[in-house]
Chain A
Amino acid sequence: MSGGAAALPVPATAAAKRRRRNYARHYAWFIVPAAAVVVAVILFPWAFTLYVSAFDWRLGGERRWVGLANYAALFSDARFGWAMLRTLLYTVLAVVFPLLFGLAAALAFHRRFPLRGLARAVFILPMMATPVAVALVWTMMFHPQLGVLNWLLTTAGLPPSMWVYSASTVIPTLVLVEVWHWTPLVMLLLLGGLAALPVDPYEAAKIDGATPWQAFRHVTLPLLMPFIVVALIIRTIDALKAFDTIYVITQGGPGSASETINIFLYLQAFAFYNMGYASAVVVVFFAIIMALAALLLWTRQRVRLT
Chain B
Amino acid sequence: MRRAQRFLERLGFGCAVLVLVSPAVLVFLWMLSLSLKTELDNTAWPPVFVPAPPTLDNYREVFARNDFLLYAWNSVVVSVSATLLALAVGVPAGYGIAKMQAMRAAALILVARITPGLSYLIPLFLLFQWLELTGTLFPIVITHLVITVPIVVWVMISFFEGLPGELEEAALVDGATIWQAFRHVALPLARPGITVATILAFIFSWNNFVFAMVLAGRETRTLPVAVNNMLTFEQISWGPLSAAALLVTLPVLLLTLLAQKQIVAGLTAGGVKGA
Is the Cβ of A130 less than 8 Å from the Cβ of B207? yes
Residue A228 is within 8 A (CB to CB) of chain B in the complex: no
Q: Report the separation of the CA atoms of residues A163 and B193 in the bound assembly, to the nearest whole angstrom.
A: 43
Q: Tell me if A86 counts as interface (CB < 8 A to partner B).
A: no
- Contacting B at CB under 8 A, from A38-95, are 38, 40-42, 44-45, 48-49, 52
- Once A28-B100, A34-B92, A278-B122 are accepted as A-B contacts, the answer to whether A113 and B13 lie under 8 Å apart by CB is yes
How many angstroms from the CA of A120 to the CA of B21 in the assembled complex? Answer: 8
Within 8 A of B (CB), among A143-192: 145-146, 148, 151, 155, 180, 184-185, 188-189, 191-192
Q: Does A124 contact B (CB under 8 A)?
A: yes
Is B24 touching A23 in the complex (CB atoms < 8 A)? Answer: no
Count of chain A residues with a beta carbon within 8 Å of a chain B beta carbon: 92
In the assembled complex, the Cα of A185 lies from the Cα of B269 at a distance in Å of 12
* Cα A216 to Cα B49 with chains together (Å): 41
The 8 A CB mask of B151-182 against A (1 = contact, 0 = none) is 00100001001000000000010000010001
Give which listed residue, A41, A126, A128, A231, contacts B143 with CB less than 8 A.
Answer: A41
Chain A interface main SS type? helix
Residue interface bits B89-103, CB-to-A below 8 A is 1, else 0:
110110111011111
The size bracket of the interface on B is 35 or more
* B137 CB within 8 Å of chain A: no
Task: Assess whether B256 is in contact with A282, with CB atoms less than 8 Å apart.
Answer: no
List residues of chain B with CB within 8 A of the CB of A108.
13, 16-17, 20
Tell me the residues in window 13-59 of chain B with beta carbons closer than 8 Å to chain A beta carbons: 13-14, 16-17, 20-21, 23-25, 27-28, 30-31, 34, 42-43, 45-47
Residues of B within 8 A of A113 (CB): 13-14, 17
- Would B231 and A248 count as touching, CB distance under 8 A? yes
CB distance from A95 to the nearest CB of B (A): 14
B268 lies within 8 A of A130 (CB): no
Are the C-beta atoms of B227 and A133 separated by less than 8 Å? yes
B228, A132: Cβ atoms closer than 8 Å? yes
A27 contacts B96, C-beta separation under 8 Å: yes
Q: Give Cα A111 to B9, complex, Å.
A: 13
Known interface pairs A42-B112, A243-B118, A269-B122. Does A122 touch B21 (Cβ–Cβ under 8 Å)?
yes
Task: Determine whether B72 belongs to the interface, using a CB cutoff of 8 Å to chain A.
Answer: no
- Let me know if B242 is at the binding interface, CB within 8 A: yes
Contacts of A105 in B (CB 8 A): 20
Does the CB pair A29–B146 fall under 8 Å?
no
B21 x A123 contact (CB < 8 A): yes
Q: Does B71 contact A (CB under 8 A)?
A: no
Q: Provide the bound-state CA to CA distance between A129 and B25, in Å.
A: 12
Contact check, B99 vs A124: say whether CB atoms are below 8 A apart. no
Contacts of A23 in B (CB 8 A): 99, 172, 178
Residue B270 is within 8 A (CB to CB) of chain A in the complex: yes
Bound together, the chains give a CA A184 to CA B260 distance in angstroms of 13
Compute how far the CA of A188 lies from the CA of B273 in the bound complex, rounded to whole angstroms.
Answer: 13
A128 touches B256 (CB 8 A): yes
Mask, A94-133, CB within 8 Å of B = 1, is 0000000000110010010100010111111110111111
**25 residue pairs from A and B, CB less than 8 Å apart:** A1-B270, A5-B101, A27-B99, A31-B93, A31-B97, A33-B92, A37-B145, A37-B149, A41-B120, A42-B120, A45-B123, A48-B126, A48-B127, A108-B17, A120-B260, A133-B246, A148-B30, A151-B45, A185-B273, A192-B268, A248-B209, A266-B210, A270-B125, A279-B123, A289-B115
Question: 7 new A-B pairs (CB below 8 Å) besides A151-B45, A244-B210?
Answer: A24-B100, A35-B93, A130-B249, A243-B118, A248-B228, A282-B118, A289-B116
A residues bordering B, Cβ < 8 Å?
A: 1-5, 7, 23-24, 26-31, 33-38, 40-42, 44-45, 48-49, 52, 104-105, 108, 111, 113, 117, 119-126, 128-134, 136-141, 145-146, 148, 151, 155, 180, 184-185, 188-189, 191-192, 230-231, 234, 237-238, 240-241, 243-244, 247-248, 262, 265-266, 269-270, 275, 278-279, 282, 285-286, 289-290, 293
